[in-house]
Amino acid sequence: MSKARHLLVAAVVVAAVICPLVTEVSQPTAAASGSVRTQASSTTVKLSNATVAYGDEQAERFEVTVSPQSSGSMPTGPVWIVQFAQTFCTATLTSGKGSCTLSPDQLAPGVYHLVATYGGSADYNGSASAQETFTVRKAASKITLKLSPAKVAYGGEQAERLEVTVSLQFSPSMPTGTVTIMSSAGRVCVIELSAGKGSCRLTPKKLRVRTYVLVATYSGSTAFKRSISIKNVLTVTKGVARTPTTTTKRPVVSLLTACQYANTVNEVALLVLEGGSYNRKDLDAYAAVAESYSPAFKTSMQYLLEAISWFPISTPWVPDAQPGGVDYDVLLNQIEGTSTWLAIACG
């Protein structure tokens, strides 16, 4: 577009805003020298909706028509939908008609005064439509509140988790801002939204024992309306006093069984002391059964196994030798002492 035509378009826009009734612009024609005279044009614009919600701007369709002053070919070229120097969309004429739409989230909520501006062509002068009013309103929001759980004991309110989710009517963007949770007794907590979600926990003894009605309120923003959740009921019950209890571990085997296995280990120890051989794997298995009855049986079995471990498994015991520096009498006393204890414990 030439510099002269740019100036012409600017003049058309200003004229349309200041004097909406002037919808045709005439351009001085060449002197009588045989040059072609350009025709005047008339531009109109029609809005499919006078009001749309934020995030749903694409529902608005601007339909433009550029008509020649007299019969002939139909005007071609672009038509701009503008407010002062701001262009919202551009329609391309086909047979004098065209249309364009906005994109989601393109315009902030507010009132706009729009004009369709045709810049003209080699055959037609530029023209501007009458001013049209177009409104983008705040989009609706919806908030949900979830209690988990719905009943807590007094003093254990920290177990309660309050979760909120804010969704939007049209916009693909995520809402921001704050959510305030109120109860029938006052404010409970304030949540800062992140990606449209947030949560908070109560503090111990924050609420008295009773039933509360909770409601979450989204404060809204410059683009989204305020919203309130449905009512949720939270019950705070009396705390139950708990007395620490000690549990006695029940023995795996009976006393009779423990004594039978313990005496078997004891008899093997006495035989080994006199030079007999033993199978350590079987001996450990017998001792494990006896040990499972009580700590006292476990200690006695450990004494016997410790004493037996000094004796060779396959080589006969030599009473006069002192294996590893351990005296024979010491080992004998250890085994016999365990025998005496077993006699008392097993009756």
Give 322-344 pLDDT, tens digit per residue: 444 456 667 777 788 888 888 88
> Could you tell me which residue, 305 or 54, shows the higher pLDDT?
54
- The whole-model pTM stands at 0.53
Point out the domain boundary residue: 74, 107, 137.
137
Residue 11 pLDDT exceeds 50: no
Residue 150 pLDDT exceeds 70: yes
Point out the domain boundary residue: 175, 210, 237.
237
Least confident of 66-70, 236-240, 247-251: 247-251
124/182 same-domain check: no
147/228 same-domain check: yes
Find the CATH number of the domain harbouring 182: 2.60.40.10
Question: Any idea what DSSP says for residue 54?
Answer: T
Predicted local confidence at residue 340, as pLDDT:
84
94/122 same-domain check: yes
Question: Any idea what DSSP says for residue 275?
Answer: T
219/171 same-domain check: yes
Backbone angles phi, psi at 68, to 5 degrees: -80, 160
Please give the residue range of the domain that contains residue 64: 3-26+38-137
- For the chain, percent of residues with pLDDT exceeding 90: 41
> Could you tell me which residue, 235 or 8, shows the higher pLDDT?
235
The tally of domains found in the chain comes to 3
Per-residue pLDDT, averaged over 217-243, amounts to 85
Residue 314 pLDDT exceeds 50: no
What is the rounded distance in angstroms from the CA atom of residue 268 to the CA atom of residue 277? 9
Residue 115, CB-side half-sphere exposure with 13 Å CA sphere: 28
Tell me if 162 sits within 8 A of 151, measured CB to CB.
Answer: no
What element of type H or E holds 101? strand 97-101
Residue 19 pLDDT exceeds 80: no
78/126 same-domain check: yes
82/127 same-domain check: yes
Per-residue pLDDT, averaged over 6-35, amounts to 40
Q: Output the average pLDDT for the chain.
A: 80
Question: Any idea what DSSP says for residue 8?
Answer: H
Nearest Cα neighbor of 180 from 207, 230, 218 is 218
Q: In this predicted model, what pLDDT tens digit does every residue of 21-70 receive, in sequence order?
A: 333 443 333 333 344 558 899 999 999 999 999 989 999 999 999 999 88
> Could you tell me which residue, 116 or 170, shows the higher pLDDT?
116
Q: Which of 160-174, 215-229, 242-256 has the highest mean pLDDT?
A: 215-229
Q: What share of the chain is helix, strand, coil (3-state, %, to 5)?
A: 25, 35, 40
Predicted local confidence at residue 35, as pLDDT:
46
Predicted local confidence at residue 240, as pLDDT:
58
114/150 same-domain check: no
Q: In this predicted model, what pLDDT tens digit does every residue of 65-119 receive, in sequence order?
A: 999 988 778 999 999 999 988 999 999 999 999 999 999 889 999 999 999 999 9
- For the chain, percent of residues with pLDDT exceeding 70: 78
